[in-house]
Structure 1
Amino acid sequence: MNCLMCGKPTVERVVGKSTFAQCACGFARLRASGKGDAYWEGRDGDSVNHTWADTQDALFNAVLRELAGKAPAGASIYDVGGGIGYFTELALAQGFDAHNVELSEVACARARDRIGAQRVHTSVAGMAPADVVTLWCVIGHTPDPGVFLDEVRAALKPGGWLFLTTPNWRFQAMLARVLGLRGRTINFERQDHISMFTRDSLTRLLASRGFREPVFGAWGVKERCVALGDSRAGAAVQAKRRWNQGWSRVGGPLPVDLTSEFQVLARYEP
């Protein structure tokens, strides 16, 4: 199997319970198909979102403040892969012209109840270019990130902004090894993470689609529980936030970057 990012041959690598096609460029592709638009099947959308409500809101609002300082007043936002429309709802409350784009009809039905049918779409095809596109942990679920990013940039104005999050493959692979030694094996197929990036491979992909000089930052931590699920979670969240902030600042110049996930802001300059 050749790499989807650079075209070079890959090698098979077992990480946790899953097998990946790993490339020297830093991109890894799960050797299994994902859930696609079935991600939301059988889920109670509101309970899923509100499991992490407090820290999720803090992260979403921090990013919206960042975007408000860069985009024009009343800027249009397309939240692609936006699920049940929770981020879109927050963006609307802050004065953005926000729209939710989602494949799953299960999630779309919830989003229509939340923000109105006129703001819920199943594709960006045919939509006027937006000032901002957000991808909250979406690109890692796509079978061909390059093709997906082509669709995204077609829905973005020149000079517009892309914000995305995705797991850091180096950190995730390291975590899988550590947890495996403790008898806790990660199943990436269950997590539905198909396409995994290092900082270098993600930067290369973005540059190839006209996104220049991406800023790798740490605007917050989504999970309140951080897999602990008890009163210790507050300390765990603070620790994870400090960890990601530190690595986001120094990870670029170093040979290894161990943020748990990438939070990236990039301008589209075709």
Structure 2
Amino acid sequence: MSTTSESNAAPTCRICGARAAEEWFDEIACFRCATCGTVQSLVLPTVEELARHYAGFSESYTAGMGAERFAREMPKRHAAKLALVRRYCPGGRLLDVGSGEGGFLAQALEAGFDAVGCDYSVRKEYPPGVRVFPGNLDAEGGLPFEDASFNAVTSWAVIEHVRDPHAAMREVRRVLEPGGFFFCDTPLCGDASERHVAARSHWFCPPEHIHVFSYGSLSRLVWAAGLDVVHSTPSFERSAPRYVARRLRNLLVGAVLGRALRHFDPGAWSRRRQSVVTQIGDIQLLVAQKPGA
């Protein structure tokens, strides 16, 4: 693990409150909490800095795929996530937080949900019928909806972007009706492939990703907001073949080759952790329920 300077000593984890860092990524000023495993930006970006970073972001975002692949791939991902939602909540009012291009909302509407979206930055155009309102999951009261308004809240690849994840989860709980479900996915840190790969995960990229959660710390965050975790998985893919391919790649390149280099040349492994970025990494998924049905 990389060493820390005295000026970086004992940061406070914004998820669990512990004051100990297990690993530092000096080039991007991030640390891994020694208690809950969350990798987070050492310095919290200001609201103004994030506004500048995301200016025009929603109109051009393609998740690093390019426009053509994005248009082809995202409907398949939305369909897989909608199928998951319908297993727990077959219909009713649905709020999609961080709606992006509106594709998931379009599919939810077609499936019979009374669905609306909310986003920090609202696009000029959405698919027919899709409604997205300006809002901010990053602050209590930031969602422009009444208490207990929704049967389901979805949040796909959003929680890693917010400055205050605890406030975000309290806001999710507020707008959910008793018995309602919360669905989210987010990048994973802390599994064997990420910890041992001889490079830094591409998920660690402040100010875009401020908090990257371990499998345990995401559940901890949700429980702290008063929601019950009913399902979670450290690796979610839209099809079984893609799941197997991703797991084999991650384990081979990360846990096997990375662990070998770490054993035989720890200095080279440590230097690569600071200077080289890798696409190795999983997406975790969680389903939670608000008590009181």
TM-score when scaled to structure 1? 0.73
Comparing 187-196 with 24-33, which one deviates more in the overlay? 187-196
Which of residues 16, 22, 27 is equivalent to 2:38? 27
Q: How does 1:145-156 map to 2 (within 5 A)?
A: 145-156=165-176
Determine if the alignment matches structure 1 residue 197 to structure 2 residue 203. no
Determine if the alignment matches structure 1 residue 125 to structure 2 residue 139. no
Look at both structures and tell me which one has the larger radius of gyration over its CA atoms: 2
Deviation of residue 45 (structure 1)?
Answer: 4.7
Which of residues 100, 104, 118 is equivalent to 1:83? 100
CA contact (8 A) 2:187 2:203 kept: no
The residue that corresponds to 1:231 in the other structure is: none
Q: Aligned AA for 1:59? A: R
Are residues 93 and 195 of structure 1, via their aligned partners in 2, closer, same or farther at CA, if it must alter by over 3 Å?
Answer: same
Instruction: Count residues with an aligned counterpart.
Output: 235
Are residues 239 and 216 of structure 1, via their aligned partners in 2, closer, same or farther at CA, if it must alter by over 3 Å?
Answer: same
List runs of 5+ in structure 2 lacking aligned partners: 1-10, 136-142, 251-279
The residue that corresponds to 1:268 in the other structure is: 290
Determine if the alignment matches structure 1 residue 163 to structure 2 residue 169. no
Q: How does 1:25-104 map to 2 (within 5 A)?
A: 25-32=36-43, 33=45, 36-37=50-51, 38-39=53-54, 41=56, 43-45=59-61, 51-73=69-91, 75-104=92-121
CA contact (8 A) 2:78 2:103 kept: no
Comparing 138-147 with 123-132, which one deviates more in the overlay? 123-132
List runs of 5+ in structure 1 lacking aligned partners: 223-234, 245-257
Q: Aligned AA for 1:167? A: P
CA contact (8 A) 1:15 1:176 kept: no
Measured in 2, the distance between the counterparts of 1:213 and 1:6 equals 17
Measured in 2, the distance between the counterparts of 1:134 and 1:238 equals 25
Q: Deviations over 1:198-226 (max 9, x none)?
A: 1111111111112213311355249xxxx
Measured in 2, the distance between the counterparts of 1:266 and 1:17 equals 35
Determine if the alignment matches structure 1 residue 8 to structure 2 residue 23. no
SS of alignment partner, residue 179 of structure 2: strand
Measured in 1, the distance between the counterparts of 2:93 and 2:67 equals 23
SS of alignment partner, residue 29 of structure 2: strand
CA RMSD of aligned residues (A): 3.4
Measured in 1, the distance between the counterparts of 2:40 and 2:185 equals 17
CA contact (8 A) 2:38 2:213 kept: yes
TM-score when scaled to structure 2? 0.68
Measured in 2, the distance between the counterparts of 1:186 and 1:242 equals 18
Q: What's the % identity of the aligned pairs?
A: 25
